[in-house]
Amino acid sequence: MAAPLRAVVFDAYGTLFDVHSVAALAEQRFPGYGPRLSALWRARQLEYTWVRTLSGRYVPFDVVTRDALRFSARALGLGLQADDEERLMAQYASLSAFPENVSALRALREFGVPLAILSNGTPAMLEISARSAGMHDLFDRILSADTVQRYKTHPDVYALATAAFACEPASIVFVSSNGWDVTAGAWFGFDAFRVDRSGTPPEQLDAGAIAAGHSLTDVVEHVRARLGRERSLAHARNGKRRRSSSATGASK
């Protein structure tokens, strides 16, 4: 019997929150460099999490994020002053949410399935971001990699979700816009769903077919379809039991 759905769990950065919404402020501070600074900052941030996890040199995500900003500014030859740094870090703490998020999350809550965030961000970063986006009350749990002091894609991070909902991985729909993240989620055993906002092809990492869509609205339909299949299976099993009971009674 297929594992019943127990929760829908979302990555935060790039999935719920637009990491490149910092580009506008970066452009104000460093005209002509905003998008380049944003892109390099995000790339180096991720690379630092992977290197630190592989090497067992964990520091919290806000430290990683600040270090990546400093590197990126230096690499682009920008004179990052203390005020620039603090303004950009504050902006990162309250990234813009994607426009369909709130309505999609509310639709998912109507299904009666718990929702959670599972992210590299520290608890404080995630609380601030969720509140500033008006989404804090829509989540039952906010799960941070800081708890295990490792970053994605370490399995211990994904295991936070199964522990939180006391279920097997297949009982969780895991949603991420990051190809490497959703692939690792599929390897872990989640019902993985990739939100492909930029039209990139699937990763070539032998994870099998991973469901995909272009926004959180498509996640709603994925969950709706899964719940529909589960109801149909439950109805079929109940019908089989009734027929079996009737046959047993008739033979007595």
Catalytic residue among 11, 18, 181, 218: 11
Please check whether residue 194 is in contact with residue 216, taking contact to mean a CB–CB distance below 8 angstroms: no
Name the residue among 229, 182, 200 with its Cα closest to residue 9: 182
Contacts of 18 (CB under 8 A, 6+ apart): 95, 96, 97, 98
* Assigned token pair, 27: 């452009």
Beta strands in the chain (DSSP E): 7-10, 115-119, 141-144, 172-176, 191-195, 211-213
8 Å CB contact between 48 and 83: no
- Catalytic-residue membership of 11: yes
Name the residue among 188, 186, 183, 177 with its Cα closest to residue 155.
188
Taking residue 208's Cβ as centre, other Cβ atoms within 10 Å add up to 10
The catalytic site residues sit at: 11
